[in-house]
Amino acid sequence: MVFEHFERDLARYMHELGPLPERRVWRFALQLLQALAYCHAHRVAHRDIKPQNVLVKPETDEVKLCDFSLARTVVVQPTISQCPETHRVASLWYRGPEILLGSEKSGDQSGLRLDVWSLGCVIAEMMLHEVLFPGSSEIDMLFKQFKLLGTPDELSWPGVTSLANWSDRFPRFRAGVWCEKIQSNPEMHNVISSLVCCCPPRRQSAGALLGHSAFRMLDPALPSQPKPLGSDRRFSGQAKRPEVSPTAERLPELHRAEPHHEALQDQLFSRLARESSCPEALASSKKARQKASLLDEWHLNTQIRNVR
């Protein structure tokens, strides 16, 4: 694959520039959502979204998604040979809880939902100028996620207690409070919390979020927000969108997700959500290895804390 030349990636750009202006965060977030919506509409899961894989052109405020080395074509009904080692995709800080817990769902379903989670973490990092979940290990990552979002249960995430790495001994964290910089910005909090959600089926798709009022203020040509996916009611009580000024700032000419692409993406998400997991015969030995590894580390950390 050949990409146009960009001088730096988002990680280096944030390191050099320092905290990004809020307006620039919104502009970057919009372009990344457009890129992700385009990929998902064409049945491609990136599976490694992080600042190092986002290229930046400061002169025009353009960003591009790059490094598709872990990308995968979405297969709605995977065969045994198509079931990947899903817990090995994505960099640790941007890995969703379903991956850490050893979900044996279709790798492609995990890839789409993982992309959404990872993008939410990147947007939060741009806003905060620090990593949202800077875990030092898989179990540390999991607990940091639970401390902010709350330890999931069968009510908030159906099926979570049956995942390979789940343990009833996990601490029961209540949902914490988001950082003030995000909490004090209702629209930003709304967008990030729609992406960074423990239960994968409750995460908003990139195409759905393109209709958010904040993005339509940046680009009036975007369509209105479609209905949320599944049972997610996060946007149902949203305040009336402000009218868009005809002189609103326009972005550089970028790919614009077409309505039929958004519809295809939402149908794909809904269809994948109904898919069954990989065959048990293939998954059983993998589950045992994952669970032993993760829980051994957790027990070791627990013992160390008790000694201290």
C-beta of residue 206 within 8 angstroms of C-beta of residue 36: yes
Residue count of the chain = 308
Query: What is the β-pairing status of strands 54-57 and 62-65?
Result: antiparallel
Give the integer Cα–Cα distance in Å for 248 and 218.
6
- Residue 177, SS3 per DSSP: coil
48 is an active site residue:
yes
Catalytic annotation, pick one of 9, 48, 115, 266 = 48
Nearest to residue 126, comparing CAs of 80, 154, 150, 94? 94
First to last CA, the chain: 51
Give the integer Cα–Cα distance in Å for 209 and 17.
27
- Residue 193, SS3 per DSSP: helix
With residue 13 as reference, give the H or E element that holds it: helix 10-17
- Please state whether 159 falls in left (phi above 0), alpha (psi between -120 and 50) or beta: left
DSSP structure class, residue 232: -
**Which residues are marked as active site?**
48
